[in-house]
Amino acid sequence: MKTKTSEVNLSGNAVNKKVSLSAADTKDISKITNLMVDVIRRQRRLWRKELTDLLAARYAKYNAEIPRNHLIQEVYDDVMLDGHLTGITENRTLRTTNKTYVFQIDGITDDKLTEYIKDKEWFEFTKDEAHKSTYVGENVLWISEFKKGEILKVEIIPRGLLVPERSTLLYDINGTKGIDYSEIKDILLPARFYSVVGLLEKAAVYTILKRHSWSSWDEFEELFGIPIRIAKIASQSETVKNEVAAWLEEMGSAPYGVFPLGTEVEIKENSKTDSFNVFFKKIEALDKELSKLVLHQTMTTENGASKAQGTVHENTMEQVVLSDEKKMLSFLNNKLVPAMRLLGYKIPDNAKIAVEKTKDPNSQITIDGVLMSNGYVLKQDYIEQTYGVEIESMPGSEQKKADNPKKP
């Protein structure tokens, strides 16, 4: 039976709608305008986003007639420049994507099938972008290059073109027409681990306010961080005033200066040494709020107070990671594996992707000790793989050979 695959041409910002100009189009004002507008809309706007931009983006996103996604994605790109937010989101993502994923049949790892995804760049990219849907809303992955039985390249569809509420991929960010990507099962893989809006909708407020505090702190440093130097001169000549002012400017951080006779230099220092705490404490509080939002706790990124509290916070983090792992396996087995079959991979119906469970030697040795004390015999291969050691012979193996000599 032949497997039928869908063929879709995706070109730039125009999906299934190639836009080009030739010599014959130089007088076609409509076509030229459409091309220019399409190119301009695709350009990423780099100015700093404020709360007003977030409110406008949310208004567009929650539009009842047709939601617009590109404005809020621009806000997300901007807020992800925050170092703390980048760190905690990467922390959460890596705890899921860094695990070893294998193909299993009836709970047993199949090494041959696992070679389809093992050490494949496209698979690592797919896992990473699928999990990031937790923060940015629905991500649609596009298998852009493949041949029968082999995926070569996976890309991410620009999120500004998506209307996840309707599973629509727009031809243009402000248009109304597009394709229903839910109908394309082989080369388009929608991933949604949280909601159509994403976790960054809540994080954006904290990040923007934090940026305000950084700016205010910077201004405070300029005003009060460096002592003010005041030069008093007897002369009223504008030439002398300008010359002394230039000398003060040229001093910079130097601890000395040469001034004409009669010039008095006074240094005004800021007596309020703890004023910076206004900004520092606010930034610190906002970082903690971001940690609670993304990681559901703070102690894995901040200094903990006690081992008991640290254990509670780590257990909370484990529950978050377990939830993400379940969502990842659901996406891989319900979206990626069926697509791989349609693209020519020979994957049995009862095969699925799972996380390889690695044994902790510290806890496993206790379990193995109880088994051995009750008379159970462990295989040499198991001991070598579990504890990473090489065993030349097992206890009792020499006696067993003596009791059962080989016949000539």
> Please, what is the Cα angle at 67 between 329 and 72, to 5 degrees?
75
Q: How far apart are CA 110 and CA 276, in angstroms?
A: 59
- Same domain flag for 286 and 391: no
Model confidence at 6, pLDDT cuts 50, 70, 90, reads very low
Name the nearest CA neighbour of 145 among 271, 9, 27, 263: 9
**By three-state DSSP, how is residue 147 classified?**
strand
Domain annotation covers residue 8: no
The number of domains in the chain is: 3
* pLDDT tens profile 167-176: 999 988 877 8
Q: Is 358 exposed, middle or buried (0-12, 13-18, 19+ CB in 10 A)?
A: exposed
Mean pLDDT to the nearest integer, 275-291: 85
Per-residue pLDDT at 319 exceeds 50: yes
Residue 150 lies in a domain: yes
- Rounded to 5 degrees, φ, ψ at 354 are -140, 165
Contact 255, 229 (CB under 8 A): no
The verdict on 127 and 137 lying in the same domain is: yes
Query: Cα separation of 262 and 143, whole Å?
Result: 78
Q: Which helix (H) or strand (E) holds 180?
A: strand 178-180
- Residue 338 sits at the vertex; the CA angle it makes with 336 and 340, to the nearest 5 degrees, is 70
On whether both 112 and 239 belong to a single domain, the answer is no
Phi-psi region of 19 (alpha: psi -120 to 50; beta: other; left: phi over 0): beta
Domain around 379: 361-398
List, for residues 23-77, the tens digit of each pLDDT value.
565 566 666 566 555 555 555 565 678 899 999 999 999 988 888 999 999 999 9
Q: Is residue 250 part of a domain?
A: yes
Distance CA(176)–CA(180), nearest Å, equals: 12
Which two tokens mark 151? Answer: 């995926």
- pLDDT band per the 50, 70, 90 thresholds, residue 345: very high
d(CA 5, CA 51): 45
Given a cut of 50, is residue 2 above it in pLDDT?
Answer: no
Q: In angstroms, rounded to a whole number, what is the distance separating the alpha carbons of residues 402 and 394? A: 14
Per-residue model confidence as pLDDT tens digits over 244-282: 777 667 666 555 555 565 666 666 655 655 666 888 888
**Same domain flag for 259 and 371:** no
Would residue 349 count as lying in a domain? yes
Domain co-membership, 251 together with 156: no
- The reply to whether 57 falls in a domain is yes
Q: What percent of the chain has pLDDT over 90?
A: 43
Instruction: Compute how many other C-beta atoms are within 10 angstroms of the C-beta atom of residue 163.
Output: 19
Q: Are residues 133 and 160 in the same domain?
A: yes
Same structural domain, 324 and 339: yes
**219 located within any domain:** yes
Mark whether 49 and 197 lie in a shared domain.
yes
Does residue 74 share a domain with residue 195?
yes
Is the domain of 53 the same as that of 150? yes
The answer to whether 207 and 290 have CB atoms below 8 angstroms apart is yes
- pLDDT class of 119 with cuts at 50, 70, 90: very high
Q: Is residue 92 included in any domain, yes or no?
A: yes
Residue finishing a domain among 209, 237, 268:
268
Residues whose CB is less than 8 angstroms from the CB of residue 99 and which lie 6 or more positions away in sequence, other chains included: 325, 355, 356
pLDDT tens by residue, 68-110: 999 999 999 999 999 999 999 999 999 999 999 999 998 888 9
245 domain-assigned = yes
Q: Comparing 21-35, 274-288, 357-371, 384-398, which segment has the lowest mean pLDDT?
A: 21-35
Strands 101-105 and 351-355: antiparallel
What residues have CB less than 8 Å from 202, skipping those under 6 apart? 293
Final residue before a domain boundary, out of 268, 293, 321: 268
pTM of the model: 0.70
Residues 115 and 236 in one domain: no
Greater pLDDT, 343 or 249: 343
Do 264 and 117 fall within a single domain? no
